C-alpha cells in the first residue's frame, strides 16, 4: 500500500515526461488502484452494515440480492479489460446502493460527499461540479424532508436538525474545497500534459513539414540537375556536330585540319614524319543509285567503322567530303612504312559490304603525302594528298599514288618488287654472281658471291631488292638459296678439277640476327657437299654490334664448323678494333668508300694506313674492296694490304663466265 503511494508520487513527478495521452490514463489508473482497496473496504463495511440491518429485520431476500449485487460489481471492477470509467461507475453504484440502505444519513453523506472529488480526479472536472451540485440539492432535499416530515433524527444518531444542518454545511464546504483543489490539480495537470502534447505535436508537425520541404527541395534540385544535364548534352551534341559529320560521327574537314595542325607541332618537336592519306570512293553516285541513299549511307558508315579499326593511338580520321575520307598515320619512320599500312587500308575498302541481303563492293582512289617531305602546313598536306587522289581518279581509280612523283615511282617499284619477290623465290630466280679476290701478284685467291635477281625482264641488282627483302623478312629464304647455290657451284668447280678456292658469301645483318642461323647454314652447306673450309661468310659490323653476346656465340659456332669469317664494310661501323680481337674473325674488309678516296685524300690515306697497321697488329688479314684503278692498287700494295677486290681485277660475273678466272689461275699455278 505504502509502495503504491510512493509509486503514485513518483508517477506524478514523472507524468510530464511521458506520453500525455497514455500517461493521463495510467495516472488515473494508479489513483484508482489506491482508492480501489479503500473503496472495497468501505463498501464491505457498508454492505455488512446493510446485511446486518436486513438480517435483523429478517429481510433475507434483500440480504441475498445485496450480496449477489455486491459480488457482481466487485467482479466487474476487478476485470482489467473493462474500461476504467465503467469500473468507476460500478464503484459508484455500490456506494449509492449501500448508502441508500444506510441506517445513518451521516455515514451516507460521508460517502456522498466523497464522490465529487473522486469524480474530479477520475472522470472530469465538469462531472465533479455537477456531482457537487447534486450533493447540495440532495442536502437541501433531505433537510427539507427532515424538517417537513418531522423525522426523529435521534434514530439516525443526529442530536438535532440544527446539528444536521451544521454538519451538512461543514461537509459541503469541505467538499467544495477538496473537489475544487483536486479538480484544479487534475485540470492543471491535464493542461500541462495537453500543452506538452501540443508542443510535441507542433514539433512533430514542424519536423514533418521540414522533411517535406527537404524532399521537395531535393526533388527540385534533381529536376534542375537533370535539366542542366539535358542542356549540356544538347550543347555537347551541338558542339560535336559543329566539328563532326552527322552520318559517320567522324571529324569533319575543319576538325581534321585542326588535328593535322596539332600533329604537325608534335612531329616537329620530335623530328618525326607522318603520312596523310586521302581516300575518294570511285563513282559513288553510281553506288547510291544502285543501293539507294540508305544503302550508300550504310556503306559509308561501315567503311568509317572499318577505317577507324585500323588506326593506332595517335592516328586520326576525318570525313572531308560526301565520298571522301582523310587519314593521318602518325610516327612513320620512312615513306616505305606506308607500304605496310596501305594493304590494310585497301582491305577495308575492298572487303564487300553487306546491304541487307545484298553484297556491295566499292572501289576507291587513294592519294598519299608526307610531312615534312611534301608539305609543312595542314592545308598543304590535305591539298597534296587530294591532288594525288584526284590524279588516280582521272586515270580510272582503284589505285593509290604518292604525291611526290619520284617517290611515287620508287614506291610503285617497291610494291612491284615486293609482289614479284615471293614468286621469284619459288622459281629460284636468285642466283650468285662471282667477283674475284686476288693477292698483290694478281693471283686468284677466292671469289665473293654477289646476289643477282634473274628476272624475266633482266638482271636486278641487290641494292634494289635487298632492303625490301630485309623489311619483309624474305631475306632469310633468299640468303639461304644464294648460300646453297654459291657452295654448290664452288663444289662443282672443285669436282670439275679447278684448284679449290674460297667462296665468300654475304650475310645481311637481319639474316645474321635471325634465330636458327647456324643450324640453317650448317644444313645448307652440308646439302651442297662443299667442305666448310672453302667457305667464308662476310658479316657487316652493324650485324654484330646490335647484340654482341648472341653474335659472339654464333661466330664461334660457325668458326667451329670450319667456316672462315670476315667483317664486311669495315670502318663504317663503330666497333673498336680492340674488341674485335676477341672475335673468331680472320679478315677485315676495308669499305669501298675509303678505297675510293686513296691515294689523293689525305684523311682517307691516314685512315686506311692505320687500319691496315692496326689490323695486322691484331692478327687480321686485310682485304680492300672496290679497287678500280692501278694507283689505288699500288698504294694498297705499298701499305701491306693482303687481298684486293674490284673492277680493276674483274667485275661480278655469272658462274659460267667466271670460269675463265679459274682457268687462268689453274694454268698459272
Residue 628 binds ligand C2E (CB under 6 A): yes
Q: Which of 506, 540, 632, 645 binds Ca ion (CB under 5 A)?
A: 506
Nearest to 311 by CA among 292, 291, 325: 325
Q: Write the DSSP string, 61-113.
A: HHHHHHHHHHHHHHHHHH-TTS-HHHHHHHHHHHHHHHHHT-S-HHHHHHHHH
Closest C-alpha among 473, 488, 408 to residue 655: 488
Name the binder of 623 from Ca ion, ligand C2E, none, CB < 5-8 A by kind: none
- Of the candidates 330, 301, 306, the one whose C-alpha atom is nearest the C-alpha of residue 316 is 330
In contact, 348 and 308? CB cutoff 8 Å: no
Residues 96-155 that bind Ca ion (CB under 5 A): none
Restricting to residues 554-583, name those near Ca ion by CB under 5 A: 568-569
Give the helix/strand (H/E) hosting 237: helix 161-243
**Out of 364, 450, 590, 615, the residue judged to bind ligand C2E by CB under 6 A:** 450
**Which distant-in-sequence residues (6+ apart) come within 8 Å of 400 by Cβ?**
342, 346, 365, 366, 367, 368, 392
Q: Is 252 one of the binding residues for Ca ion (CB under 5 A)?
A: no
Which residue has the CB atom at the shortest distance from Ca ion? Answer: 538
Q: Which is nearer to Ca ion, 107 or 451 (CB)?
A: 451
Judged by beta carbon, residue 482 or residue 609, the one nearer ligand C2E is 482
Contact 433, 447 (CB under 8 A): no
* Shortest distance, position 543 Cβ to ligand C2E, whole Å: 9
Binder of residue 323, out of ligand C2E, Ca ion, none (CB less than 5 to 8 A by kind): none
Query: In the bound complex, what is the minimum distance in angstroms from residue 563's beta carbon to Ca ion?
Result: 15
Q: Is 451 among the residues that bind ligand C2E (CB under 6 A)?
A: yes
Site for Ca ion in 538-557 (CB under 5 A): 538
Produce one character per residue of 118-137: b if its CB has 16 or more CB atoms within 10 Å, e if not: bbbbbbbbebbbebbeebee
Interacting residue with ligand C2E among 119, 568, 585, 633 (CB under 6 A): 568
Site string for ligand C2E, 425-444 (x = CB under 6 A): ----------x---------
Q: Are 487 and 530 in contact (CB under 8 A)?
A: yes
- Residue 536 as a binder of Ca ion (CB under 5 A): the answer is no
Is residue 511 a contact residue for Ca ion (CB under 5 A)? no
Stretch that binds ligand C2E, among 152-160, 382-390, 501-509, 653-661 (CB under 6 A): 501-509
| Closest to 102 measured CA to CA, from 38, 150, 43, 183 | 43
Task: Give me 473's grid cell.
Answer: 623478312
- Residue 19 sits at φ, ψ, to 5 deg, of -65, 120
* Angstrom distance (rounded) from CA 57 to CA 60: 9
Q: Could you tell me how far CA 109 lies from the centroid of its own chain?
A: 94
Helices (H) and strands (E) in the chain, counts: 23, 16
Stretch that binds ligand C2E, among 33-41, 259-267, 366-374, 625-633 (CB under 6 A): 625-633
- Name the one range near ligand C2E by CB under 6 A: 12-20, 85-93, 157-165, 446-454: 446-454
Please count the residues of this chain forming the interface with ligand C2E, following the rule CB under 6 A: 26
Residue 437 forms beta bridges with which residues? 446, 645
Q: Which of 462, 532, 543, 571 binds ligand C2E (CB under 6 A)?
A: 462
Is residue 461 within the footprint of ligand C2E (CB under 6 A)? yes
Residue 23 is a binding residue for Ca ion (CB under 5 A): no
Q: Cα separation of 412 and 237, whole Å? A: 44
Task: Write down the least CB distance from residue 363 to ligand C2E, Å.
Answer: 39
Touching ligand C2E, residues 574-593 (CB under 6 A): 592
**650 to 669, contacts with ligand C2E by CB under 6 A?**
652
**Residue 143 or 572 with smaller CB distance to ligand C2E:** 572
Helix or strand run (H / E) with residue 402: strand 400-402
User: Which among 103-111, 282-290, 345-353, 532-540 is the span making contact with Ca ion, rule CB under 5 A?
Assistant: 532-540
531 or 628: CB nearest ligand C2E: 628
- Hey, what's the cell of 229? 544535364
Cα–Cα distance for residue pair 543/555, rounded to 1 Å: 11
Size of the site for Ca ion (CB under 5 A): 5
What does the H/E/C string look like for 583-603? CCCCEEEECHHHHHHCCCCHH
Residue 479, interface with ligand C2E (CB under 6 A)? yes
Cell numbers placing 343: 594493304
Which of Ca ion, ligand C2E, none sits in contact with 647, Cβ below 5 to 8 A by type? ligand C2E
Span near ligand C2E by CB under 6 A; candidates 42-50, 202-210, 461-469, 579-587: 461-469
Residues that bind ligand C2E (CB under 6 A): 435, 449-451, 461-463, 466, 479, 482, 506-508, 511, 538, 568-569, 592, 625-628, 645-647, 652
Instruction: List residues binding Ca ion (CB under 5 A).
Output: 506, 538, 568-569, 592
Amino acid at each position: 500500500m505504502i509502495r503504491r503511494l510512493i509509486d503514485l508520487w513518483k508517477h506524478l513527478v514523472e507524468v510530464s515526461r511521458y506520453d500525455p495521452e497514455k500517461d493521463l490514463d495510467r495516472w488515473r489508473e494508479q489513483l484508482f488502484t489506491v482508492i480501489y482497496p479503500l473503496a472495497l473496504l468501505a463498501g464491505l463495511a457498508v454492505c455488512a452494515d446493510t446485511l446486518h440491518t436486513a438480517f435483523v429485520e429478517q429481510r433475507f431476500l434483500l440480504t441475498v440480492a445485496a450480496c449477489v449485487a455486491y459480488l457482481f460489481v466487485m467482479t466487474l471492477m476487478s476485470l482489467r479489460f473493462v474500461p476504467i470509467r465503467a469500473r468507476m461507475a460500478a464503484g459508484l453504484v455500490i456506494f449509492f446502493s449501500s448508502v441508500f440502505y444506510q441506517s445513518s444519513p451521516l455515514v451516507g453523506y460521508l460517502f456522498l460527499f466523497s464522490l465529487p472529488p473522486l469524480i474530479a480526479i477520475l472522470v472530469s472536472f465538469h462531472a465533479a461540479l455537477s456531482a457537487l451540485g447534486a450533493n447540495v440539492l440532495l442536502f437541501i432535499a433531505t433537510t427539507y424532508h427532515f424538517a417537513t416530515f418531522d423525522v426523529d433524527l435521534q434514530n439516525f444518531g443526529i442530536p438535532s436538525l440544527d446539528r444536521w444542518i451544521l454538519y451538512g454545511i461543514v461537509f459541503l464546504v469541505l467538499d467544495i474545497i477538496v473537489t475544487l483543489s483536486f479538480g484544479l490539480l487534475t485540470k492543471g495537470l491535464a493542461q500541462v500534459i495537453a500543452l506538452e502534447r501540443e508542443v510535441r505535436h507542433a514539433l512533430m508537425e514542424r519536423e514533418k513539414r521540414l522533411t517535406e520541404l527537404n524532399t521537395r527541395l531535393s526533388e527540385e534540385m534533381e529536376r534542375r540537375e537533370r535539366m542542366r544535364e539535358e542542356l549540356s548534352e544538347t550543347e555537347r551534341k551541338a558542339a560535336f556536330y559543329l566539328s563532326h559529320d552527322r552520318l559517320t560521327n567522324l571529324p569533319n574537314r575543319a576538325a581534321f585540319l585542326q588535328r593535322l595542325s596539332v600533329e604537325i607541332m608534335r612531329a616537329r618537336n620530335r623530328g618525326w614524319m607522318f603520312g596523310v592519306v586521302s581516300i575518294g570512293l570511285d563513282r559513288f553516285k553510281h553506288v547510291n543509285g544502285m543501293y539507294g541513299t540508305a544503302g550508300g549511307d550504310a556503306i559509308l558508315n561501315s567503311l568509317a567503322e572499318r577505317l577507324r579499326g585500323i588506326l593506332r593511338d595517335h592516328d586520326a580520321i576525318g570525313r572531308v567530303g560526301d565520298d571522301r575520307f582523310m587519314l593521318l598515320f602518325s610516327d612513320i619512320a620512312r615513306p616505305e612504312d606506308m607500304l605496310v599500312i596501305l594493304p590494310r587500308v585497301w582491305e577495308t575498302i575492298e572487303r564487300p559490304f553487306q546491304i541487307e541481303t545484298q553484297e556491295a563492293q566499292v572501289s576507291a582512289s587513294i592519294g598519299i603525302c608526307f610531312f615534312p617531305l611534301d608539305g609543312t602546313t595542314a592545308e598543304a598536306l590535305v591539298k597534296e594528298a587530294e591532288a594525288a587522289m584526284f590524279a588516280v581518279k582521272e586515270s580510272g581509280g582503284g589505285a593509290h599514288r604518292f604525291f611526290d612523283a619520284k617517290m611515287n615511282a620508287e614506291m610503285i617499284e617497291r610494291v612491284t618488287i615486293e609482289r614479284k619477290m615471293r614468286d621469284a623465290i619459288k622459281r629460284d630466280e636468285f642466283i650468285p654472281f662471282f667477283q674475284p679476290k686476288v693477292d698483290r701478284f694478281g693471283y686468284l685467291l677466292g671469289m665473293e658471291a654477289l646476289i643477282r635477281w634473274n628476272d624475266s625482264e633482266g638482271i636486278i641488282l641487290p641494292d634494289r631488292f635487298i632492303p625490301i627483302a630485309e623489311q619483309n623478312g624474305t631475306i632469310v629464304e633468299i640468303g639461304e638459296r644464294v648460300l646453297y647455290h654459291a657452295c654448290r657451284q664452288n663444289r662443282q668447280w672443285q669436282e670439275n678439277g679447278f684448284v679449290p678456292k674460297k667462296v665468300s658469301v654475304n650475310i645481311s645483318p637481319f639474316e645474321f640476327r635471325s634465330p636458327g642461323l647456324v643450324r640453317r647454314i650448317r644444313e645448307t652447306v652440308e646439302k651442297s657437299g662443299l667442305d666448310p673450309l672453302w667457305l667464308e661468310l662476310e658479316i657487316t659490323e652493324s650485324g654484330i654490334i646490335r647484340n654482341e653476346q648472341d653474335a659472339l656465340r654464333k661466330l664461334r659456332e660457325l668458326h667451329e664448323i670450319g667456316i672462315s669469317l670476315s667483317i664486311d664494310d669495315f670502318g663504317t661501323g663503330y666497333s673498336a678494333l680492340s674488341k674485335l680481337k676477341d672475335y673468331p674473325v680472320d679478315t677485315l674488309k676495308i669499305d669501298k668508300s675509303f678505297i675510293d678516296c686513296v691515294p689523293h685524300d689525305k684523311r682517307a690515306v691516314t685512315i686506311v694506313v692505320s687500319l691496315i697497321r692496326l689490323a695486322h697488329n691484331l692478327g687480321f688479314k686485310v682485304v680492300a674492296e672496290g679497287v678500280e684503278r692501278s694507283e689505288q692498287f699500288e698504294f694498297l700494295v705499298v701499305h701491306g694490304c693482303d687481298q684486293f677486290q674490284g673492277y680493276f681485277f674483274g667485275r661480278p660475273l655469272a658462274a659460267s663466265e667466271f670460269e675463265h678466272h679459274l682457268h687462268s689461275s689453274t694454268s698459272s699455278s
